[in-house]
Amino acid sequence: MPRPVKVAVANGSELWCSQEVSGCSWYSQGNVFTTNFRLLPLGCYDVILGMEWLEYHSPMLIDWPRRRMQIEHEGFTVVLCYVRDSENITDISCTNLPPEIAKVLLEYEDVFAEPVGLPPKRDCDHHIPLMQGAQPVNIRAYRLKPELKTEVERQIAEMLKAGIIQKSSSPFSSPIILVKNKDGTWRICVDYR
């Protein structure tokens, strides 16, 4: 930027900004937006859409109880919804995508959507053939702090409800670990070592 500017943030403090990304394309819920972003140390947030963005899309309809925002964008009515899942707290993923990639993402939105349910049965469902007399790998779960145990139980309940995992009676068992995402949330990983 030609000269640094002061930016007021949500907690009331002010930060100095000297860098800007002009015309950054970003994608949210099947829509591509282009915005000028000022670069600030925001901690765990990737992007905060400020007054300039809100004013540009004004007037808008906001449904606070359902956490939905309806705006006009490129001649279409767009509804942005708050999304919370096991990996993301917010509904916006920000990236600088070339137009060709953004077009593919929009065209095949169903392929890139969050999974719901298990994959369909196929002609060739794979299995692991065991050697005669081989013992199944069965390792007990790692001990977790109470707050992490609660997080694991919450995520497993969500995945069961969404149908992307199912209860198993398999003799195989591998423990899981929690890995922290950059936004402070937790992601379950299976330790197959």
Q: pLDDT for 111-162, tens place per residue?
A: 877 777 877 888 887 777 888 888 888 888 889 888 899 999 999 998 898 8
- Domain limits at 57? 5-112
**Bridge partners (DSSP) listed for residue 69:** 62, 80
* Confidence (pLDDT) at 151: 92
pLDDT at 117: 80
Copy the structure tokens of residue 183: 């936004």
Helix (H) or strand (E) holding 103: helix 99-107
Domain count for the chain = 2
Query: Residue 133 falls within a domain, yes or no?
Result: no
Q: Which residues of the chain have pLDDT under 50?
A: 86-96
Domain assignment present for 129: no
pLDDT value at residue 98 = 64
Residue ending a domain, among 96, 112, 128, is 112
CA distances from 23 to 33, 73, 96, 124, 140 (A): 9, 16, 9, 47, 51
Q: Please identify which residue in the block is written with the tokens 């964008």.
A: 73
Residue 107 and residue 150 in one domain: no
- β-strand pairing of 186-190 with 176-180: antiparallel
Question: Is 138 within a domain?
Answer: no
pLDDT at res. 93: 40
The one-letter amino acid code at 95 reads T
* 134, part of any domain: no
Of 112, 138, 154, the position where a domain reaches its end is: 112
Locate tokens 């930027």: which residue? 1
Longest dimension (CA), the chain: 73
Query: Does residue 93 share a domain with residue 159?
Result: no
**Contact between 17 and 1 (Cβ < 8 Å):** yes
pTM of this structure: 0.43
Query: Closest Cα partner for 65 from 43, 81, 51, 50?
Result: 81
In a domain, 175, yes or no: yes
Q: Are residues 102 and 164 in the same domain?
A: no
Q: How high is the pLDDT of residue 155?
A: 92
User: Is residue 123 situated within a structural domain?
Assistant: no
- Point out the domain boundary residue: 62, 91, 112: 112
Q: What is the pLDDT, as a whole number, of residue 172?
A: 86
